[in-house]
Amino acid sequence: MSDADEPVERVRDLLEEVADALDLDADVEVERRDDAIHGTLVGEDLGLFIGRHGQTIDAVQHLAFKAAGRGDDRSDARARVIIDAAGYRERRAQVLQRQADQAVADALRSGRPAALDAMSATERKVVHEYLAERGDVETYSEGTEPDRHLVVAPLRPE
């Protein structure tokens, strides 16, 4: 096994351990692509792994990131780690994008900032990235965890 494979194997080991601990009938798939390590659980009834509002899958993703970087002091060597199960990340991203589009419409119509509901750092990042290329609004986060939320504000025309 090459040094480059070690983080992938550590993520695989972690996901298999979590799946076993939760007594899930799931296959674990882990691969490196697009400068990130992607870990996916494939199977039926993975709600326990995803957790309420994605809290469990976000926690496992954080642990997987830590496991992937273990023993590597080079900060630039720490790959992004994305953990998914049953297509949850894509479905959730679509919901967040619809909410972001609504907030943009509200902010532009009223001329005032529009706040989204509180969400995790992972979800706020999805919305920030989704709206980053727009030239008519800016996004920023406000509040403290667990009530930290994203705000969409119209940009003033110059």
> What digits encode the pLDDT tens for the residues 18-48?
999 999 999 999 999 888 999 999 998 999 9
Distance of CA 26 to the CA centre of its chain: 21
DSSP symbol at 40: E
Question: What pLDDT digit, counting tens, does each position of 85-100 carry?
Answer: 999 999 999 999 999 9
- Model pTM? 0.80
In this prediction, residue 145 carries a pLDDT of: 86
Question: What pLDDT digit, counting tens, does each position of 105-122 carry?
Answer: 999 999 999 999 999 888
Rg, the chain, Cα only: 18
Domains in the chain, CATH or no CATH each: 3-86 (3.30.300.20), 91-154 (3.30.1370.50)
In this prediction, residue 35 carries a pLDDT of: 86
| 111 within 8 A of 156, measured Cβ to Cβ | no
